[in-house]
Amino acid sequence: MTGRDVAAWALRDEFPTEDWTHLAWCSHAPRSTRVETALMAMVAAMGGPRSAWAAWEHQVTLLRYGFAALVGCGREQVALVPDASTGAFQVASTLHWSPRPRIVMSSAEFPGLAHVWLAQRARGAEVVVVGDRDGRVSGEDYLRAVDTRTALVSVPAVTYRDGVRLPVRAIADAAHQVGAAVVVDGYQAFGVEPVDVRRWDCDFLIAGFSKYALGLPGVVGLYEKAVGERRPELTGWQGRCAQHRWDAWRLDWPHGAARLQAGTPAVPAVYAAVAGLSMVEELDLRVVRRHVTGLLGDARRWLVEAGLTVVTPQAPQERGAHLAVRHPQSGVLAAWLADRGVAVSPRNGVVRLAVHAYSTWSELERACELVARFDAEQRARRVVVSAS
């Protein structure tokens, strides 16, 4: 093992990927033995005369506690919701858009959140989009847009397409100076670098468990800084003070983030998330961040020298855990790489190469070589076609 591969020990044995390389962490985690074991335990709980609900609800409790510990907040500040869009809706529905009507979001926003913010126009909100039409955005774009009419600022910790790591704390400070709340989309950071809501000083954090947190889609952690009386428009039995009272006529509200919950959680996703977090908890995420940063720095230089366009920033502090390589046939390229045993994730004209704790330079180097080879073959083919 080389110095560049120093973190490869961390999770390798948990993931049966000997004959292929997973570089699609920014989209989903690969199959792991620990998640498989957890799902079998879920099914086993259904195999006797006793109700499985006690075991299932225990997993929900474990997930809430685990999420709170990883992001640095109290358990009462965590709600579990089915997806990021629901989390964003719960945040938006607790806010009023008069006399502060402005929502500031970026052109790099993940659609699952952006659509929720845009839909608030029907409730009187004014949506301001910072960044250019190609999705390039910086912290300065946010700082110029936030003013005294701003009620909510939505900022991705790392942008989902280009892997740009934004200065969350600086944006939060600017927003708080004018009395605006800040919601952070932590999906592309949670599980692969330290995420600390106290350091960011955000008002809300939305982070899921299906990517670098090593679980499955179907459940998302929603952190709320100032738990209180603001009531969401969507509710259900999981948002009550005493869930097992089974009183269909009593609409009470807990003094905590649990009031942002609605219906029955996706139990398989909860089991997978608890298993995934158990692996993340074994890592020193500061070491993982250094490892990932070093790998991507080498890969970025390699790709640029090979003549490819990398839209992810060069500065280490400005990039997350994936590189976005621009290519006009990103979907075709991703399928071509999959045929050669490399999983990547295409999005809107880019192919994303994502790494985690056990990713190695040799794996990433081979992927870069394949990308360059495909690009060269496509260029040569276009030359032949144009000449004929």
State pLDDT tens for residues 15-62: 987 799 999 999 999 999 999 999 999 999 999 888 999 999 999 999
* pLDDT tens track for 209-250: 999 999 999 999 999 999 887 899 999 999 999 989 999 999
**For residue 186, what are its two tokens?**
């932590």
Secondary structure element (H or E) that encloses residue 141, with its range: helix 139-145
Q: What is the DSSP string of 155-216?
A: EESB-TTT-BB--HHHHHHHHHHTT-EEEEE-TTTBTTB---HHHHT-SEEEEESSSTT-S-
Closest by CA to 92, choosing from 125, 66, 62, 45, is: 125
Scanning the structure block, which residue is given the tokens 């948990």?
14
Per-residue pLDDT at 311? 97
Per-residue pLDDT at 1? 42
Per-residue pLDDT at 135? 87
Per-residue pLDDT at 301? 97
- Buried/exposed code over 325-349 (b: 16+ C-beta within 10 A; e: otherwise): bebeebeebbebbeeeebbbbbbeb
In this prediction, residues 291-310 reach a mean pLDDT of 97
Beta bridge partners of 105: 129
Per-residue pLDDT at 3? 44
Q: Residue 386 pLDDT > 80, yes or no?
A: no
Per-residue pLDDT at 384? 57
* pLDDT tens track for 150-207: 999 999 999 999 999 999 999 999 999 999 999 999 999 999 999 999 999 999 999 9
* pLDDT tens track for 350-367: 999 999 999 999 999 999
The number of C-alpha atoms within 13 Å of 142 and in the hemisphere containing its C-beta is 29
Per-residue pLDDT at 4? 45
Per-residue pLDDT at 383? 65
Per-residue pLDDT at 382? 67
Per-residue pLDDT at 16? 87
Mean pLDDT computed over every residue of the chain: 94
Per-residue pLDDT at 248? 94
* Omega before 99 within 30 of 0, i.e. cis: yes
- Buried/exposed code over 203-219 (b: 16+ C-beta within 10 A; e: otherwise): bbbbbbbbbbbbbbbbb
Per-residue pLDDT at 6? 45
Per-residue pLDDT at 2? 45
Q: Cα–Cα distance between 229 and 52 in angstroms, integer?
A: 33
Q: Are 277 and 63 in contact (CB under 8 A)?
A: yes
pLDDT band at 10 (very low <50, low <70, confident <90, very high): low
Q: Name residues whose C-beta falls within 8 Å of residue 185's C-beta, 6 or more positions apart in sequence.
A: 84, 109, 110, 113, 154, 155, 156, 157, 206, 207
Per-residue pLDDT at 387? 58
Per-residue pLDDT at 133? 86
Q: Cα–Cα distance between 293 and 317 in angstroms, integer?
A: 8
Q: Are 77 and 223 in contact (CB under 8 A)?
A: yes
In this prediction, residues 312-331 reach a mean pLDDT of 97
- Buried/exposed code over 11-31 (b: 16+ C-beta within 10 A; e: otherwise): beebbebeeebbbbbbbbbbe
Closest by CA to 120, choosing from 149, 88, 160, is: 88
* pLDDT tens track for 68-98: 999 999 999 999 999 999 999 999 999 999 9
What 3-state DSSP class applies to 136?
A: coil
Q: Cα–Cα distance between 209 and 191 in angstroms, integer?
A: 8
* pLDDT tens track for 255-289: 999 999 999 999 999 999 999 999 999 999 999 99
